[in-house]
Amino acid sequence: MNRLAELEKIYQALSQIKCRCSVEELKALKIEDLTIKQLKYLQVINDSNELTISKLAKKLRISKPSVTSMIKKFEKMEFIYKKDCLKDGRIHYINLTEKGRKIATVEEYKNKMLVNYLFNNLDSKDIDSLISILWKIK
């Protein structure tokens, strides 16, 4: 087997490990029906402060009615909640619930699970070698 093919196999194996590491958590979150677009929306909400429907529509470059519809779905799915502005009761801020935050950060979570898997299955010398190699390609 040539070295390129070996690297491809190793990469595929790491990807499979990453998927296995998070499958139980993802099942627990019940997000099978979540689209990539919806995941992106949750990530934008997670990365924003004092976010209103208008601000979210601007960030996502979609209409306010579309955002309103999506927010209603997210509320039913218990991914977000609205918080009233203390200064102006007409303004409602969109915030993620703990469940929504877990979903918005699922990729980060999967990466942490992979690192933990590697850490728990490699000895100290192998970990040092892996770190050294990965710094070279960073």
- H-run or E-run covering 83: strand 80-84
Express each pLDDT in 57-74 by its tens digit: 999 999 999 999 999 999
31 Cβ contact partners less than 8 Å away, ≥ 6 residues apart: 103, 106
Express each pLDDT in 97-127 by its tens digit: 999 998 888 877 778 888 888 899 999 999 9
What average pLDDT does the chain have? Answer: 87
Q: What is the pLDDT of residue 32?
A: 65
Of 75, 130, 70, 119, residue with least CA distance to 100: 75
48 has a pLDDT exceeding 80: yes
Which CATH topology does 33-99 take? Arc Repressor Mutant, subunit A (1.10.10)
Q: Which residues pair with 96 in a beta bridge?
A: 80
- What are the residue ranges of CATH 1.10.10.10 in the chain? 33-99
